Structure 1
C-alpha cells in the first residue's frame, strides 16, 4: 500500500514514527501488553495531570463467579452536585490495552464535558474470551448506576463510549443493557468501533494491508475473542454488535470512522441501521484517515476536528438542558 497516496499528508509523519516501533507480536501478547503498559506510564510522566481532575483507582465486584474489576474514576475537583457519567471502554482488539492508555483522554473529557468518567479495565482475550469483556463492562455500568449517590452521579444521565474494540464493546453493551432493562442509557459514543467478526466488507479488502490494524490483525483479534465461532453462524450480538437483527430502542449514537480503514463499511452500515431503526445517530467519516488517527496524530487538523465534534456530542447528550 502506498500510504503517501492513501492518507492525509498531515497524518504521515506521526504514522511513520509509530511504524518505527516493534510491531504487534501475536506470539507474545503478555509481553506486548507489558511493554505497552510501561510505555504508557512513561508517557504519562511527561504530561502534568490536570489540576481540575481528581483520580481514584477502585476495585468493584465483577460478574458472578468472576474476579473484581479494576476501574479508575475521574471527577471534576471544582464541580459539586450530581454529575452525568460516562463509562469509558479502552481499545486494543480485545487482546491488548489497559486502564492507563486513555488516562489523558479521560481527564480531558472530564474538563471539556463536565462529567464523571469511569474507565474500566476489563479482562482480555484469549485468556478470557467472550463474554468476559462485555460482562465486566456491564458490571461496571451497573455499579455506576447502583452507587450513583455515593459517586455523585445523576443515574438518569449515563453514557457509554469507547474506541476500536472499546467501541465494539460499547455497541454490544448498549444491546445487552437494553435487553436486561436494569440501567437506563442516554448515549453511546462509538469511535471507529470493531463491530463485525465476519470480515466480509469491501473496506476490509481495500485496506487489508493497512499499517494500523490490518485485516490479519482483525481476524486474529476476533479469533482470540470468539474462538472457533468467529465468522460462523452462531455469534452473539453481545459479542459482535453487527450481528444484531433488532436495533430499536438503543440510545442515541455518535459514530466516527476513518475513510481509509478496514472498519469503514461496517461502521457506516451500523450507523445506517441505527437510523433505520429510529435511533438518533450522527455519523462522521474522516477523509484519508487511517485507524486511530486521532491518537496517533493528535495535533492534526482531522484529529482536532474530530475531538471538537466528539466533545460537543457528549456535552449535548449529557447536558441537554444547556443545549450543548
Structure 2
C-alpha cells in the first residue's frame, strides 16, 4: 500500500531535527516537518484524533479511571489490539511461527522475521509488544518489525507473552525472559548472531525489555548487546527525585490543542492508578516494575524515544538523564507533536517511519 504522507515530509523531519540538553541528557528533538507552532499536535495526528477528542469531551471523570472488570478489560483489549499500520514493506519477508516452552510448560508463541536479503550472521532484534501488560499483540507492531528488517537486513523475533490479569506478574515478564534465552541458544539456527541481540519494546513492552536486560545482567549471561525502549513504563511507583516529578507544567501545549491533549493525559493518569490491580501485585516499587530506582551500572547502550505529549514523557526523559549520569551510552529521541504509541502507525505518519529508521541505525551502529 501507499504511505499516507510524502517522502518530502520524511526528509523534512531529518532536516529540522536538533540536539538539545534536557536535564543533562542529550536529546535528539524531531520537530514537526511542516509547522513551527510551539506545542502543536502533528496536523495529521490531530485530524485523525478530532472525532475521538470530541467524544472524550462528554466523558465523565469517573470513566477516566482504570476499570479492571472483565468486561472493561475486553473493551480495552479490543482497542489496544487495533491494527493501525499500513503495510509499506516491499521486500519479501518470511514469517516463521515457533513455540518456546516456559518454566511451567506453557508454549509461548514466537514469530521470526527473515528478509530475502538478510545479512549473514545477522544482528538480532527481539521485540516485545506493549498494551499495558493486559493487551496488545505482535500483530500491532508487526509492520514496525518488518520495516526495520527491510531497512537493515537483520533478523527479528516477536513474542506473544501471557497477559495480565489472568496471568499475574511476573508471568509475562518471565515469558519474555525465557524467550530471550531461547533466542540466544537458537540464533545460529536462524542465521543470526547471538553476540548481537538487541531487545526492544514499546510502552509496557519497554518495561519488559528492561526486565530482560536487568535479569541478563543479574544472571551474568551476556545475552543483550543493547536495548531499545519506546515510550517505556519505567517509573510505575512514581518515585520523585531531582529528575522526576510529574506535572502538566512539564508540557508545552498549543492553546488550540490544550483541551484534547490534557484529556489524554488525564486518561493515562487514571489508567496508571490501576496497574497494581491489573498486575496482581501491591509491590510495584521494585527494580523490575520500577527500573527507575534500579542500578544503572553496566547497562548496555540504550535507545529511548517518547512523544512530546505522552503521559510517560516526564519519566522517560528523567530516565534518560539518570542513565546518562550513570555512564550508560544513551540515545534519546523526542518527537514533537506526538503522544503515545506512534510505533503502531507505520505508513500513517512520517514520524513512525522515522522512528523505525532511527531504531535500525542504533542497532547497526552498536552491532559492529
Normalising by structure 2, what TM-score? 0.74
Which residue of 138, 144, 156 maps to 2:183? Answer: 144
Contact 1:167 1:189 (C-alpha < 8 Å) held by counterparts: yes
Q: Write the deviation string for residues 23-46 of structure 1: whole angstroms up to 9, x where unpaired.
A: 997432553366358853xx78x7
Aligned to 1:89: 128
Contact 1:191 1:256 (C-alpha < 8 Å) held by counterparts: yes
Q: Counterparts of 1:176-255 in structure 2 under 5 Å?
A: 176-199=215-238, 201-203=244-246, 205=248, 209-210=263-264, 214-230=268-284, 235-244=285-294, 246-255=295-304
User: What is the CA-CA distance between 1:297 and the residue it aligns to?
Assistant: 8.0
Aligned to 1:317: 366
SS of structure 2 residue aligned to 1:70: strand
User: What is the CA-CA distance between 1:158 and the residue it aligns to?
Assistant: 0.6
Contact 1:95 1:221 (C-alpha < 8 Å) held by counterparts: no
User: What is the CA-CA distance between 1:87 and the residue it aligns to?
Assistant: 0.8
CA distance in 2, matches of 1:87, 1:296: 19
Normalising by structure 1, what TM-score? 0.83
SS of structure 1 residue aligned to 2:165: coil
Q: Write the deviation string for residues 11-34 of structure 1: whole angstroms up to 9, x where unpaired.
A: 201223565899997432553366
CA distance in 2, matches of 1:160, 1:58: 18
CA distance in 1, matches of 2:175, 2:228: 18
Q: Counterparts of 1:31-42 in structure 2 under 5 Å?
A: 31-32=74-75, 35=78, 39-40=82-83
Change (3 A) 1:54 1:304: closer
Consecutive unaligned residues of structure 2, counting only runs of 5 or more, are: 1-37, 57-62, 250-260
* Runs of 4+ residues over 6 Å off in structure 1: 20-25
CA distance in 1, matches of 2:156, 2:324: 27
Q: Write the deviation string for residues 268-298 of structure 1: whole angstroms up to 9, x where unpaired.
A: 1211111122210011222232112353585
Q: Counterparts of 1:56-135 in structure 2 under 5 Å?
A: 56-62=96-102, 64-79=103-118, 81-135=120-174
Q: Write the deviation string for residues 129-179 of structure 1: whole angstroms up to 9, x where unpaired.
A: 221111111111100111122122111111100111111111222111111
Contact 1:208 1:216 (C-alpha < 8 Å) held by counterparts: no
Contact 1:203 1:263 (C-alpha < 8 Å) held by counterparts: no
Contact 1:172 1:240 (C-alpha < 8 Å) held by counterparts: no
Q: Write the deviation string for residues 102-126 of structure 1: whole angstroms up to 9, x where unpaired.
A: 1111111111121111101111111
Contact 2:141 2:343 (C-alpha < 8 Å) held by counterparts: no
Q: Write the deviation string for residues 239-286 of structure 1: whole angstroms up to 9, x where unpaired.
A: 221131x11111101111112222112111211111122210011222
CA distance in 1, matches of 2:206, 2:361: 18
CA distance in 1, matches of 2:81, 2:334: 33
CA distance in 2, matches of 1:120, 1:7: 32
CA distance in 2, matches of 1:162, 1:21: 30
User: What is the CA-CA distance between 1:81 and the residue it aligns to?
Assistant: 2.8
Larger radius of gyration: 2
Contact 2:89 2:150 (C-alpha < 8 Å) held by counterparts: no
CA distance in 2, matches of 1:194, 1:174: 15
Whether 2:53 is the aligned partner of 1:16: answer no
Change (3 A) 1:223 1:113: farther
Equivalent pairs, count:
307
Aligned to 1:289: 338
Contact 1:195 1:242 (C-alpha < 8 Å) held by counterparts: yes
